[in-house]
Chain A
């Protein structure tokens, strides 16, 4: 685990949303998903990279994503994940929830301090 002070610990359950979001752009293998998350968040979210795989398998078991074996860009055998319609719906629900949460937190933290 990293110790850089400006890195955020991953909130429980948020990895699932990140994966779904990554896959909403199109099918991808595990490595590509992890890379995309790193790039988009600019490494702000500190995540044990391997933790991605149990999350992927869990989502697979819940039928939110589906997988099949394919060939990677460098001709390696790789497992490709894609979003199912059920997963797309879940992503929409979850991102709304996250947005509401973030807005609410923002309002609380940005509220002017009142005296008296």
Chain B
């Protein structure tokens, strides 16, 4: 063997020899001529090195060109092959595209919700700080606590700021409208760190009572109401009747915590507000100073909490800090991971299916491969050829998959229930496309490698004409393994879907504790300046309720400070008589008018309900829920007991007597826990309470008429009381109940769709493999039938053989679904993740489908005349 370097040596020595000869001819002596030739040649080593470098570079270049050329040939050949088998290609491409599309769209959502960093500066240092009431924290904070925390923790936070929601009557030259906004303390915008698009943030001195008549608009409101006019900065608008100057407009990306607010004004807490420690309604966020960890911050806040507890012994909740980003995503992390897992399973099933298809085709092409191998094609080359074909399939599949993904994403967003943070940011961006390409590549490798390796192993015997078309025993084993894999993946997918569907059904069966049928709810807010007097507020709401009751078709009308599964509301600490502050019971407060229980269909269990005689001045009364009665007065009747809450002091506890016990209501939705609740008549509401709820009550009207007719009649009645009062937050109670189920139902429905697709793919796969393996045995079966075996025996034989890999797959799938139960368990309601009935059910379903998928080809084979299969080769 000559090495490439030898050529160079030959060339050089030839030169030296010829040169020496020339010198000898000129008369040099032999020895000196040689030396002179070498001398004139120059530095031999350097020249050699230069030549070798040039040579090497060129070789790389040539090899690359040759490789590219081969690859192009492979691809061109692949295109011809795929075109020749159009039906096969279409099925394979669509199968892969389905899996790729599903994973792409879920990944798109995952990226927007979980992975993309928040649009704020250094978002990891933004923290949500809250009271840690009953370790549920962080929950909303009272103004008094916020002010104390801010004072005590300036070493921890660059800024600590509070936000309290408020809705505003916005009027300027145009039509007045109701917008949701918030009061924010100074530092709120600074700590989020997103500069305004127009104008400026609030100044520190604007966060003081009397100096706070400024407002910042959301981008959305700016576009919608002011046509993106930058001149709006400096303009005067009236908010709840008070003049405010617009000082800024926030950019489109600004959203805290959701993009539901359109307007911000300074909080400007009054000294009276700053002294309040009992009413908890603020969101508090902070920007941690550089280098302070969440653990260190939590430890420091614990100490601050203990200090404050000495000052305010009735507030023992403590302080909790969490990264804002984590809190924002909350439960959606798990839900999205479940969806991503399901989509990946679907993609895997699709891969296995295509691998199967390719195997079947590989078997049909074993002759072609053997011919090419016999003609000198290396095995590596054949593998590459097959992989090139698969990559083409994958490329096509990723194109279709991306299109499918686009469509699925749109459908997903359109149908998604409200409240998924940052869902609107979902889109197909470079990262998502990159993911698609990666998924397609992986899929093509997974689907293509196995068949390619087994295809390239095709040997010369395949050329002999008596060799049966089709694969070998080892290929049969590979196919059985694929069947097992498919069954295992589908079982895991089906089990997950089954559990979530059952859980959603269970949740739907839960009694809400009220009768939502025919009940409409709508919020009314009285502007602060016109309604400073509590008596006037009560009288106005009573007139509204009275007016609503007069509408034809209305059976009952009432108001409440919070409707179950609706916005607003708060909780208060209750102290039963004879107990100390240690035994405070936190409970949800509702201020209602007398007919509330009747309108909502909440049953009275003991005692009586409110009457029109329960007014300020008469004995203070309270109605408690069953859960509160049991918590506050265990083992005895609550009737006649006295409770202090919401107002008063240890010296003057303002005792309220329990006059009735009513049924429990699931205020947080059907999947939520039952909480202790209590009711006060609006006529006896503590005057300060109107401030807590910003003079906003929800009208609940039970009627026989249609909601839209009812809404316009209600609007008219409310306007009849005060024509500046709009209705907002309109929804029927049935809608609210439905909405509380929307999230789990949506998750269950998505998983169900994916698992049914998976099941369909898997059954096609099983059908194909069993049909193929059975056909391999056609000859043997012909012999058996000729010897007297009946069609029944043949079917049994084949089906029994098919059930072995199916059973194996079921066992694997069971293990897989048990292993992933941890992820699911937090999403399940009233059902355990290893619920045997669900697992048994989906197992039976899958078994039935697999049985059918193998019975059909078995039956077909058994019908064939033995003579025919005996002669067939």
Chain A residues within CB distance 8 Å of chain B: 29-31, 34-35, 48-51, 53-54, 57-58, 60-61, 69, 72, 76-79
- Min CB distance B52 to A, Å, is 9
Q: Which of B53-61, B257-265, B759-767 contacts A (4 or more CB under 8 A)?
A: B53-61
Q: Are B42 and A57 in contact (CB under 8 A)?
A: no
Could you tell me the distance between the alpha carbons of A28 and B479 in the complex, rounded to whole angstroms? 63
- Known contacts A31-B15, A34-B15, A77-B14; is A50 also within 8 Å of B47 by CB? yes
Checking A29, A34, A61, A78 against B58 with a beta-carbon cut-off of 8 angstroms, the contacting residue is: A61
Q: Are the CB atoms of A48 and B42 closer together than 8 Å?
A: yes
Q: A31-B19, A49-B19 are in contact. Are A57 and B51 (CB under 8 A)?
A: yes
Q: How far is the CA of A78 from the CA of B8 in the complex (A)?
A: 10
The answer to whether B51 and A53 have CB atoms under 8 Å apart is yes
11 contacts between A and B (CB under 8 A): A29-B11, A31-B18, A48-B42, A49-B40, A50-B41, A50-B44, A53-B47, A61-B57, A69-B7, A79-B10, A79-B11
Residues in A whose Cβ lies below 8 Å from that of B55: 57
Since A76-B14, A77-B10 are in contact, a sample of 18 more A-B pairs with Cβ atoms closer than 8 Å, ordered by chain A residue number, is A48-B41, A49-B15, A49-B41, A50-B12, A50-B41, A50-B42, A50-B43, A50-B44, A53-B11, A53-B12, A53-B15, A53-B51, A54-B51, A57-B50, A57-B54, A61-B61, A72-B18, A79-B7
Query: Distance in Å from the Cβ of A10 to the closest Cβ of chain B?
Result: 12
Among residues of A, the one whose C-beta sits closest to the C-beta of B43 is A50
Chain A residue at minimal CB-CB distance from B58: A61
- Give min CB distance, A35 to chain B, whole Å: 7
- Which of B8, B10, B15 gathers the greatest number of chain A CB atoms within 10 Å? B15
Closest to B55 in A: A57
- Chain A residue numbers with a CB within 8 Å of B11 are 29-30, 53, 78-79
- Is B780 on the interface with A (CB-CB < 8 A)? no
Q: Is B172 an interface residue (CB 8 A)?
A: no
Look across to chain B and name the residue whose beta carbon is closest to the beta carbon of A62: B58
Q: Within 8 Å of chain A (Cβ to Cβ): is B583? A: no
Interface residue B121 (Cβ < 8 Å from any Cβ of A): no
B309 contacts the other chain (CB 8 A): no
Pick from A29, A35, A54, A79: contact of B50, CB under 8 Å: A54
CA distance A93 to B494 in the complex (A): 74
**Given A31-B18, A48-B42, A61-B54, is A54 in contact with B10 using a C-beta cutoff of 8 Å?**
no
Q: Would you list the 6 A-B pairs with minimal beta carbon distance, nearest first?
A: A48-B42, A54-B50, A50-B42, A50-B47, A50-B41, A61-B58
State in angstroms the CA–CA spacing of A7 and B15 once bound together.
Answer: 23
**Residue of B whose beta carbon sits closest to that of A48:** B42
B14 touches A51 (CB 8 A): no
Which residues in A have their C-beta under 8 angstroms from that of B8? 53
Q: Give the shortest distance, in Å, between A58 (CB) and chain B (any CB).
A: 6
**Could you say which residues of chain A place their CB within 8 Å of the CB of B57?**
61
**Which residues from B are CB-within-8-Å of A50?**
12, 15, 41-44, 47
Interface string of B30-67 (1 = CB under 8 A from A): 00000000001111100100110011011001000000
| Alpha-carbon gap, A113 to B44, bound state (A) | 48
Check B51–A29 contact: CB distance below 8 A.
no
Within the assembled complex, what's the spacing in Å between the Cα atoms of A7 and B42? 17
B734 within 8 A of A: no
Q: Which B residues lie within 8 Å of A35 (CB)? A: 22
Q: Is the CB of A54 within 8 A of B54?
A: yes
The smallest beta-carbon distance between A39 and chain B, in angstroms, is 11
Note all chain A residues with C-beta closer than 8 A to B41: 48-50
Q: Complex: how many Å from CA A3 to CA B712?
A: 111
Q: Mark B856-872 against chain A: 1 for CB-CB distance below 8 A, else 0.
A: 00000000000000000
Q: Please indicate which of the listed interface residues B10, B18, B47 has the most CB atoms of chain A within 10 Å of its own CB.
A: B18
Using Cβ atoms and an 8 Å threshold, which residues of chain B touch A31?
Answer: 14-15, 18-19
> Complex formed: what's the CA distance from A33 to B8 in Å?
16
Report the minimum CB–CB distance from A69 to chain B (whole Å).
Answer: 8
Q: How far is the CA of A76 from the CA of B57 in the complex (A)?
A: 28
Number of B interface residues in the complex (CB < 8 A): 24
Q: Considering only CB atoms, which chain B residue lies closest to A1 in the complex?
A: B42
**Distance in Å: Cβ of B66 to nearest Cβ of chain A:** 15
**Residues on B with beta carbons closer than 8 Å to the beta carbon of A54:** 47, 50-51, 54
Q: Which residue of A lies closest to B8 (CB)?
A: A53
Is the beta-carbon distance between B44 and A58 smaller than 8 angstroms?
A: no
- 0/1 string, B16-27, CB within 8 A of A gives 1: 011100100000
Closest to A73 in B: B18
Contact call A49/B14, Cβ cutoff below 8 A:
no
Closest residue of A by beta carbon distance from B21:
A74
- A77: chain B residues within 8 A (beta carbon): 10, 14
CB proximity of B281 to chain A, nearest CB, Å: 79
* Contact across chains for B54 and A49 when beta carbons are under 8 A apart: no
| Cα(A51)–Cα(B58), bound, Å | 19
Complex CA gap A76/B7 in Å reads 13
Contacts of B42 in A (CB 8 A): 48-51
Interface members, chain B 61-116 (any A CB < 8 Å): 61
Give the complex CA separation of A78 and B705 in angstroms: 107
Q: How far is the CB of A108 from chain B (nearest CB, A)?
A: 33
Interface core residue of B11, B55, B57, B61 (most chain A CB under 10 Å):
B11
Among A57, A58, A60, A78, point to the contact of B14 (Cβ < 8 A): A78
- Nearest CB of chain A from residue B635's CB, rounded to whole Å: 99
Bound-state Cα–Cα, A57 to B22, Å: 24
CB distance from A54 to the nearest CB of B (A): 4
Interface string of B177-221 (1 = CB under 8 A from A): 000000000000000000000000000000000000000000000
Q: Which residues from A are CB-within-8-Å of B22?
A: 35
In the complex, A53 Cα to B17 Cα: how many Å? 15
The chain A residue sitting closest to B13, CB to CB, is A76
Whether A58 lies near B54 (C-beta < 8 A) is yes
In the complex, what residue of chain A is closest to B37 when comparing beta carbons?
A49
Q: Which of A54, A58, A60, A77 neighbours the largest number of chain B CB atoms within 10 Å of its CB?
A: A54
* Residues in B neighbouring A34, C-beta threshold 8 A: 15, 19
A72 partner residues in chain B, CB cutoff 8 A: 14, 18
* Cα of A38 to Cα of B589 in the assembled complex, Å: 110
CB distance from A29 to the nearest CB of B (A): 7
**What CA separation (Å) do A58 and B61 show in the bound complex?**
13
Chain A residues with Cβ under 8 A from B17's Cβ?
A: 76
Docked-complex contact B43 and A29, CB < 8 angstroms: no
Task: Check B58–A30 contact: CB distance below 8 A.
Answer: no
Whole-angstrom distance between the alpha carbons of A72 and B19 in the complex? Answer: 14
Q: Which residues of A contact B15 (CB under 8 A)?
A: 30-31, 34, 49-50, 53
Q: Shortest beta-carbon distance, B251 to chain A, in Å?
A: 56
Using Cβ atoms and an 8 Å threshold, which residues of chain A touch B7? 69, 79
What is the minimal beta-carbon distance from A93 to any residue of chain B, in angstroms? 22
Partner of A51, one of B12, B18, B47, B54: B47
A61 CA to B55 CA, complexed, in Å: 8
Q: Return A37 CB to nearest CB of chain B, in Å.
A: 13
Residues of chain A with a CB closer than 8 A to B44's CB: 50
Interface residues of B in 799-814 (CB under 8 A from A): none
Residues in B with CB closer than 8 Å to A61 are 54, 57-58, 61
Q: Which residues of B contact A76 (CB under 8 A)?
A: 14, 17
Give the residues in chain A near B14, CB-CB below 8 Å.
29-31, 72, 76-78
Write the chain B residue with the least CB distance to A52: B15
CA distance A49 to B20 in the complex (A): 13
A79 to B54, CA, bound (A): 17
Chain A min CB distance to B240 (Å) = 82
For B19, the chain A residues whose CB sits under 8 A away are 31, 34, 49
Within 8 A of A (CB), among B378-414: none
Q: How far is the CB of B658 from chain A (nearest CB, A)?
A: 100
In this complex, the member of A31, A51, A61, A77 whose beta carbon has the largest number of chain B beta carbons within 10 angstroms is A31
Bound complex: CA A54 to CA B43 (Å): 12
How far is it, in angstroms, between the C-alpha of A53 and the C-alpha of B7 when the chains are bound? 12
**Minimal Cβ-Cβ distance residue in A for B22:** A35
CB-defined contacts of A57 to chain B, threshold 8 Å: 50-51, 54-55, 58
A69 to B18, CA, bound (A): 17
What chain A residues lie within 8 Å of B54 (beta carbons)?
Answer: 54, 57-58, 61
Query: How far apart sit A36 and B151, CA to CA, in the bound complex (Å)?
Result: 96
Q: Roughly how many angstroms separate A48 CA and B45 CA in the complex, as a whole number?
A: 13
Q: How far is the CB of A33 from chain B (nearest CB, A)?
A: 10
